[in-house]
Amino acid sequence: MANSLRVLVAVDGSLPSGRALEHVINLSRAGAVIDVHLLNVQIPVESGHVRMFVTPEEIDGWYRDEGIAELEPSRIALDAAGLPYTQHIAVGHLVETICRYAAEQDFELLVMGSRGRSGLGRALMGSVAQGVLAKVSVPLTLVK
């Protein structure tokens, strides 16, 4: 998109990441021309025991299926808003992967929720948001 703001929205299917996406949709409704990219990061399966019984193709399929499921609420919201987007699924440690992806793909803005899923996931996403804030090289908007 010519003269558009390249925005990466890190999503995990949680309500806070949905609010982050809603913030981006509202920016678009207010007249901002935005090239929206959704990023879901899957935590790698590192157990050697799991890898003994599951093929790399099965693990890759699991990452893809989980990523697609976690991106679904965001896709539905963007489709309803009539806002085009590109979706990405990455595998890696959350903070490093989000920061590296935002920098390597030349995004002009990263938007994410300040917290993730409930329970342990919520605490992890809070720490992920803090880690991203400390390490990211592109402008970051955290949505509460």
Indicate left, alpha or beta for 102 from its phi (over 0: left) and psi (-120 to 50: alpha): alpha
Structural domains of the chain ordered from first start:
10-143 (3.40.50.620)
**pLDDT over 70 at 81, yes or no:** yes
Mind listing the pLDDT tens digit for each residue in 24-77? Answer: 999 999 999 999 999 999 999 876 676 678 888 998 999 999 999 999 999 999
Measure the CA–CA gap between 9 and 40, rounded to whole angstroms.
Answer: 9
Q: Supply the pTM of this predicted model.
A: 0.89
- Residue 21 pLDDT: 98
The mean pLDDT value of the chain amounts to 90
Picking from 18-22, 23-27, 113-117, which range would have the lowest pLDDT averaged per residue? 113-117
Measure the CA–CA gap between 100 and 96, rounded to whole angstroms.
Answer: 6
